[in-house]
Structure 1
Amino acid sequence: MVFYRFLSNLVYVIEILIFVRIIFSFLRIDPYNQIGKIIYDLTEPILAPARELIYRLGINTGMFDFSPIVAILILRTILFLVRGIIF
């Protein structure tokens, strides 16, 4: 129960950070400033495997980066599976 609540909160924080990174990319905020670097460092370990998965599947997304959507879907799936196992 406590583990699921912790995992749920962690996923929530990661999703917020991913959304902030998306907003930063739309606003073209320099990723090398202090806040941008922290957001990048915290989200890249989540987004890099999602980006690699899209590449390995051979999906051509053009100029759009769908790795945040894929990462959030994977995180939600993991949370759903853990919930099914625990409860």
Structure 2
Amino acid sequence: MSLYQIVSVVFTVMEYLIFARVLISYFPHNPNGAIFGFIYEVTEPLLGPVRRMMPASSMPFDFSPMVALLLLYVVERVVLQLL
């Protein structure tokens, strides 16, 4: 497996974890559970700063995962172009 493929897989896994976090947030779950804890620990370093940069909204929907996915996509394209 080449470095290009490894980097691509890492970004793809991160994207899937963000999607999983969004889906999990719509269903009752145990926040102390192992799976949710893992997903939270891996995605929060990306989602937390994005959430803090976004203005507070009165809407019940959190747009930070969408913004984070967009930023992740842009960074992935730049990194893969540099390889």
Q: TM-score if structure 2 supplies the norm length?
A: 0.83
Greater helix proportion: 1
Classify 1:35/1:83 alpha carbon distance in 2 versus 1 (closer, same or farther; 3 Å): closer
Structure 2: gaps spanning 5 or more residues: none
* Aligned mate of 1:70, from 58, 67, 72: 67
Aligned identity (percent) is 35
Classify 1:3/1:16 alpha carbon distance in 2 versus 1 (closer, same or farther; 3 Å): same
Give the structure 1 partner of residue 21 of structure 2: 21
Structure 1: gaps spanning 5 or more residues: none
Instruction: Tell me the secondary structure at the aligned position of residue 27 of structure 1.
Output: coil
TM-superposed deviation, 1:4: 2.4
Q: CA RMSD in A?
A: 1.9
Instruction: Tell me the secondary structure at the aligned position of residue 70 of structure 2.
Output: helix
User: Are 1:49 and 2:49 an aligned pair?
Assistant: yes
Tell me the number of residue pairs that the alignment of Structure 1 and Structure 2 aligns.
Answer: 83
